[in-house]
């Protein structure tokens, strides 16, 4: 089992309603840090889960490799 920290860029967004066109120019990507168990790694994406049991997982997230700034594996000791 690999536990990793992934730093990646997420899409920027503006909350509902109408906005001035000029306001859109200030919209930027959001830096995100996620920690979890690496469940799947392909040439296109990583899939992490923060919670798992013997046969189920909860709150999975797939992150495109193109959005990843850095990934680090944590060492687990018992």
**pLDDT-based confidence at residue 13 (cuts at 50, 70, 90):** confident
* Sign of the Cα pseudo-torsion (31, 58, 60, 37, in order): positive
Please tell me the predicted confidence (pLDDT) of residue 50: 94
Q: Checking DSSP bridges between strand 45-49 and strand 51-52, what pairing results, if any?
A: unpaired
Name the token pair of 5.
Answer: 């920290």
Structure confidence by residue, pLDDT tens digits, 18-63: 999 998 888 888 999 999 999 999 999 999 999 999 999 999 999 9
CA distance 1 to 4: 10
CA distance 51 to 63: 17
Mean pLDDT computed over every residue of the chain: 93
pTM of the model: 0.81
Please tell me the predicted confidence (pLDDT) of residue 63: 97
């Amino acid at each position: 089992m690999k536990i990793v920290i992934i730093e990646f860029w997420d899409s920027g967004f503006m909350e509902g309603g109408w906005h001035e066109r000029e306001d859109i120019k200030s919209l930027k990507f959001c830096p995100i840090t996620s920690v979890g168990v690496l469940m799947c790694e392909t040439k296109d994406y990583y899939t992490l889960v923060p919670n798992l049991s013997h046969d189920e997982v909860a709150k999975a997230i797939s992150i495109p490799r193109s959005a990843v700034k850095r990934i680090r594996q944590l060492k687990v000791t018992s």
